[in-house]
A and B are shown apart, each in its own frame.
Chain A
Amino acid sequence: DAGVIQSPRHEVTEMGQEVTLRCKPISGHDYLFWYRQTMMRGLELLIYFNNNVPIDDSGMPEDRFSAKMPNASFSTLKIQPSEPRDSAVYFCASTYTGGPGNTIYFGEGSWLTVV
């Protein structure tokens, strides 16, 4: 299996621009998570989906952030407009919850820099 695939791997954008991060979970997985990693705050869960339905978006920092999962094999995290404080690594992860001990697999991350 190819694992969780994220794109782009690196993005540099100007403040105010729209940023779209993409994720393809592992085939057959029914949970998808978006995490953000920063030096100051560590790894934060932003939102997660179960069977393409958003379950908990309490970690989304503000209305500038939105996430969608139109089908089982694709999700996006959008920031509009972007701000320098959004600079971080954004990880997508997925798992199959046939059992609670199932491993959550992470993608390689999208390194976002907003200047």
Chain B
Amino acid sequence: AQSVTQLGSHVSVSEGALVLLRCNYSSSVPPYLFWYVQYPNQGLQLLLKYTTGATLVKGINGFEAEFKKSETSFHLTKPSAHMSDAAEYFCAVRSLGSSNTGKLIFGQGTTLQVKP
């Protein structure tokens, strides 16, 4: 079975500082990995995804993530935090496997606070 663990339910950074949100996954087959962002009172918006190919993936709003198979990780980073980055971030794995279900399994989410 696939699963996702996000380390740290709350992360606080200062504006301009590095953002690092951690995500580890468990999957018995090659995973497809996603980061979604949820702004207050809104739905989920895709930030970036890893399917195949280059392991460093760039997304919207200056975010990027690196797939590391050996570490089963897909951490999200941004070099310089902006106040508008304050939101909840979800890591998710989508693994078709033999059943070809295509469903997303989400982590518990990390709330990012950006301090001025």
- Tell me the A residues contacting B by CB distance below 8 Å: 31, 33, 42-43, 45, 48, 55-56, 91, 93, 95, 97, 99-101, 103-109, 111
Contact = CB atoms under 8 A, between A and B. Distances in A.
A55 to B, nearest CB: 7
Contact of A100 (B42, B43, B45, B51): B51
Interface stretch (B17-25, B60-68, B79-87, B99-107): B99-107
6 contacts: A42-B106, A55-B101, A56-B103, A100-B96, A101-B51, A107-B43
A24 B99 CA distance: 26
B26 to A, nearest CB: 16
Interface of B: 32, 34, 36, 41-46, 49, 51-52, 90, 94, 96, 100-109
Nearest to A55: B101
**Chain A: interface secondary structure?**
strand
A100 B103 contact: no
Contacts of A100: 32, 51, 94, 96, 102
